[in-house]
Amino acid sequence: MAYPANYRYTKEHEWISLEGKIGTVGITDYAQNSLGDIVYVDVPKVGDSVTANASFGSVESVKAVSDLYSPVTGTVTAVNEELKTSPDKINEAPHEAWIIKVELSDPSEYEKLLDAAAYEKFVSEETGA
């Protein structure tokens, strides 16, 4: 699956797309593929603050749990309620099934993240492919 060129990525395999000051965050196709069937997503509440590179929640597959790391610092403005009942949406469409939306306190953080090409290169190095 191609990594959208208009997104930015972290080395922890989250993606973020930015519209104004609002960033939408999810996990990448590589992440969902490594985790396998996702059964639960633990997310913060609207109004909670998140910090770049710090855990903001976790994603649980059949036999493993992984922390979710925020690509940016800011305040949670929305959580994807659909994932409560259908966490498998992440497996189906990882780059559409967003997890949280964050109002960035420092929009310049976005610029420091990996672009699609750099992320793809990072993944291929990590997998040795």
Structure tokens at 110: 């976005």
- Of residues 11 through 40, those in contact with another protein by CB under 8 A are 40
User: Could you say which of 60, 103, 115, 120 contacts another protein (CB under 8 A)?
Assistant: 60
User: Could you say which of 58, 82, 92, 112 contacts another protein (CB under 8 A)?
Assistant: 58
Shorter beta-carbon distance to another protein: residue 24 or 61: 61
The residues pairing with 57 across neighbouring beta strands, listed in sequence order, are 68
Does 46 engage in binding with another protein (CB under 8 A)?
Answer: no
Instruction: Give the end-to-end CA distance of the chain in Å, rounded to a whole number.
Output: 15
Does 124 engage in binding with another protein (CB under 8 A)?
Answer: no
State in angstroms the smallest separation of the CB of 121 from another protein: 30
Of 60, 31, 56, nearest to 45 (Cα)?
A: 56
Shorter beta-carbon distance to another protein: residue 67 or 106: 67
How far apart (Å, rounded) are the C-alpha atoms in residues 74 and 18? 13
Does 106 engage in binding with another protein (CB under 8 A)?
Answer: no
- Of residues 63 through 102, those in contact with another protein by CB under 8 A are 63-65, 67
Does 51 engage in binding with another protein (CB under 8 A)?
Answer: no
DSSP E strands: which ranges in the chain?
Answer: 8-9, 14-19, 22-27, 38-42, 49-50, 55-61, 65-69, 74-79, 100-104
Does 53 engage in binding with another protein (CB under 8 A)?
Answer: no
How far apart (Å, rounded) are the C-alpha atoms in residues 58 and 8? 20
